[in-house]
Structure formats: C-alpha cells, structure tokens
Amino acid sequence: MNKLTQSLPSIGVLSLLLAAWWIAVAWSGSVIFPTPWQVVTGTAELIRNGTLWLHISSSLLRVAAGFGLAVALALPLGLWMGWVNGAYLTLNPLFQILRPISPIAWIPIAILWFGVGNASPVFLIFISSVFPMIVQTVAGVHTIEKRYLRAAENFGVSRYTLFRQVVIPAVLPQIVVGMRIGLGVAWLVVVAAEMIALRSGLGYLIMDSRNAGNRYDLVIAGMIIIGLIGLLLDGGMRLLEGHRLVRWRYAH
C-alpha cells in the first residue's frame, strides 16, 4: 500500500505525458507521428510475426558477449593495477586517455577491423564497458582500509589467503558498482552499434522501421522496449548489490 502511494506521482506524470502526446498528435493531424495506441498495435504486430524476440535476443546476445569479455579482462587487470603500483603508473595514463573517447567514435575503426557482422558491436560494447570497470576495480583496491591489510600482515597469512579473504571481498562491492555502470553503457552502445549495418537487433529495428516506410510506430515501440530492458538489466545488477558477499558494504 505504501509502495503504491509512493509510485502514484510517477504514474501520474507518465499518464499526463501519454495524454499530452495523444492530444498533440490528434490536434496537429500528423500522419507520420503515431499515437500511443498505434505504438501498441505496432508492438503487437512485432510480437505476432516473431521479429520482436529475434531483435531482443540478438541485442542481448551481443551485450552478453561484449560485456562478458570486458568483465573477464577488467577484473583481473583492475586488481593487478590496484595492487601493483608499477602496473598502475604504467597503464593508468593510457586508460585515462582512452576512457573519455565516446564508443561511437570507435565505429569506423570497428567496421575497418571487424566488418559489419556481429563482431563490430561486440567490440564496441567491449570498448565502452571495459574502462569504467577497470577504473572502479582499481579504485576499490586503492580504497581498502589499511587496518584490514595490517591485520592480515599481522597474522602472517599467505598471499593466496590475503587475496581470497581480504582483497577480493573488500573490492567486490566496487566491482559490482563497476559492472552496473559497464552494463548500462553496454546497453546504450549496442543500440547505437546496431544502427550501422546489421540485419537484427533493436537498433536495427529502429533504423529499418524508419527507412522502410516511415513506420514511426515501430521506431517508438523499439525505443520503449530498449528503455524497459535497460531498466530490467539495471534491476538485475541492483539485486547483485544485495548479495550476501557485498551486503556488508551497505549495512550501516
């Protein structure tokens, strides 16, 4: 009940926007810009002919591949850079230069190297999500409180125990934050990447719907689906933040 009353204002704003949209389309008599109902029927059409699932699954698979590769590289590299100062001093300037370059700027290079198949968007997702995760992991190692490292030193435990029981659990909350940022960026980028020259994916759906007959109802349907899936992905990462292994960080 309390949750319902809390979400009432946002539901109200959404309803007002929908109403304003509908009235604006009706009032201007636009034949290209769809009403909310046309978006609903367009979505139903995509569901019926099965293309919606194809587009969603292609986009998700590309994100899974690019993001997975980025995690596999960023976590060990970030831990190493955080722990070994020489590695940090050597590699950090490079990453600080690469990090602010928009993933979109990599598109020409991605096409040059990987062509217009699946590899290009996977590469772009990798490039976009790997740097925030490296930076967060390094920051996580650097902010481990010294008293914990000293305690480990005092008990004279092995390097293996130090990493397994102190360093990695201490950094894990920051890693989860990094992954959440990385996945958010990855989802942004997959849609942009698919607009280039692919035959599937939600980005392709949007561009194709416009090019093949100004189907703006499908353009907007695609946008809304992208937003909803992004919300779900973020919600999933938030669930990770509640996991037993990282909950200590937030329990105060």
Partner 1 sequence: MHTNGSARAKIDVRNVRKAFASEKVSLPVVDGVDLQVADGEFVALIGPSGCGKTTLMNLIAGFLQPDDGAVFIDGIERRKPSSQGILISQQGSIFPWLTVQENLMFGLNGHAHTDKTGIADHYASIVGLKGFETSYPHQLSGGMLKRAELARALVVKPEILYMDEPFSALDALMGLRIRNELLRILAEERHTVLMITHDVEEAIHLADRILVLSPRPTRVQAVFDVPFAHPRRLTSPEAQELRVAVLRQLGVDA
* Binding-residue pattern over the window 89 to 128 for partner 1, x denoting contact by CB under 8 A: ----------------------------------------
> Nearest distance from residue 247's CB to partner 1, in Å?
8
**Is residue 170 involved in binding partner 1 (CB under 8 A)?**
yes
Cβ nearer to partner 1, comparing 178 with 222: 178
Cβ nearer to partner 1, comparing 143 with 161: 161
> Nearest distance from residue 250's CB to partner 1, in Å?
9
Figure out which of the listed residues 31, 94, 97, 251 binds partner 1, where binding follows CB under 8 A.
251
Figure out which of the listed residues 65, 139, 166, 196 binds partner 1, where binding follows CB under 8 A.
166
Structure tokens at 13: 């704003």
Q: Among 227, 213, 200, which Cα is nearest to 61's? A: 200
**Is residue 252 involved in binding partner 1 (CB under 8 A)?**
yes
Cβ nearer to partner 1, comparing 53 with 248: 248
Figure out which of the listed residues 36, 169, 184, 230 binds partner 1, where binding follows CB under 8 A.
169
**Is residue 148 involved in binding partner 1 (CB under 8 A)?**
yes
Cβ nearer to partner 1, comparing 57 with 161: 161
> What is the Cα Rg of the chain in Å?
23
> Nearest distance from residue 161's CB to partner 1, in Å?
4
Figure out which of the listed residues 86, 100, 156, 213 binds partner 1, where binding follows CB under 8 A.
156
DSSP for the chain, please give it: -HHHHHHHHHHHHHHHHHHHHHHHHHHHT-SSSPPHHHHHHHHHHHHHTTHHHHHHHHHHHHHHHHHHHHHHHHHHHHHHHHH-HHHHHHHHHHHHHHTTS-GGGGHHHHHHHHTTSSHHHHHHHHHHHHHHHHHHHHHHHHTS-HHHHHHHHHHT--HHHIIIIIIHHHHHHHHHHHHHHHHHHHHHHHHHHHTTT-SSSHHHHHHHHHHTT--HHHHHHHHHHHHHHHHHHHHHHHHHHTSHHHHTTT--
Figure out which of the listed residues 158, 212, 213, 239 binds partner 1, where binding follows CB under 8 A.
158
Place of tokens 């942009």: 192
**Is residue 157 involved in binding partner 1 (CB under 8 A)?**
yes
Binding site for partner 1 (CB under 8 A): 147-148, 150-158, 161, 165-166, 169-170, 172, 245, 247-249, 251-252
